[in-house]
Amino acid sequence: MRIGERLKRLRMVNSLTQEELASRADVSKGFISQLENDATSPSIATLKDIVDVFGISMQEFFSDTADAENVVYGKDARVQSTADDAGVKVELLVPGAQNREMDPVLVTLKPGEEMAEQVYHEGEEFGYLLAGRIQLHLDDQIHKVKKDECFYFSSDRKHRVKNVGTAEAKILWVVTPPTFDY
């Protein structure tokens, strides 16, 4: 693994300049430049300080790049919601979404079931109804959504969905930043 290449990629993904990263990690801009060009090696303590800026662990930093760059996820990679309600199932489609900018999930609602009302939070939400019919409750408004329709809204509104059809409703739901509980 080339540490410099990995650090530069993380810095760019996090929209940081070398100067900003250096300031947050309490090192010099020149040192960051040398690291990114593999002209020097950091101590473990210094590398940990830099990696902490990105909000990842040393283990994540050194994990196999094949895992870090996985782009296709099968059914076996999904993480099931820990919710007790058998009528509502939420599946995390991409493992590790908490460390990403968006959280794609598959929500399945049995007929007549509804998700608990979500409180106000930062971000945006997008949903695409794969099957069924639902009602989307946004604050005091109710919107009907049919199969092959989608919805998009700012998360600073109270919101919930209810399956109003006679079959299961399946929603591909994407939230940014990640907020679903697992």
Predicted pLDDT of residue 69: 63
Predicted pLDDT of residue 67: 47
For the cut 80, the answer to whether the pLDDT of residue 156 exceeds it is: yes
How buried is 171 (Cβ within 10 angstroms: 0-12 exposed, 13-18 middle, 19+ buried)?
buried
> What percent of the chain is modeled with pLDDT above 90?
58
Same domain, 103 and 62: no
Q: What is the pTM of this model?
A: 0.63
Same domain, 87 and 11: no
- Look-up of token digits 């600073």: 156
Same domain, 48 and 85: no
What span, in angstroms and rounded, lies between the C-alpha atoms of 182 and 150? 24
> What tokens were used for 59?
């283990």
For the cut 60, the answer to whether the pLDDT of residue 52 exceeds it is: yes
87-114 in b/e form (b: 16+ CB < 10 A) is: ebbbbbbbeebeeeeebbbbbbbeeebb
Same domain, 15 and 44: yes
Same domain, 169 and 82: yes
Q: Provide the domain limits for residue 144.
A: 75-176
pLDDT: which is higher, 83 or 67? 83
Same domain, 61 and 105: no
Same domain, 123 and 46: no
Residue 59: pLDDT band with limits 50, 70, 90:
confident
What are the DSSP E strand ranges found in the chain? 79-80, 88-92, 103-109, 124-131, 133-138, 141-146, 150-154, 159-163, 169-176
Q: Rounded to the nearest 5 degrees, what angle is found at the Cα of 103, between the Cα atoms of 177 and 134?
A: 105
Same domain, 56 and 91: no
- Look-up of token digits 């473990």: 44
Mean pLDDT of 136-162: 96
Mean pLDDT of 150-169: 96
pLDDT: which is higher, 145 or 77? 145
Same domain, 45 and 84: no
What span, in angstroms and rounded, lies between the C-alpha atoms of 124 and 174? 8
As a whole number, the mean pLDDT across the chain is: 88
Residue 152's beta-bridge partner residues?
126
pLDDT 10s digits, 72-96: 888 888 887 755 567 898 888 887 7
Predicted pLDDT of residue 82: 54
Alpha-carbon Rg of the chain, whole angstroms? 21
Predicted pLDDT of residue 66: 42
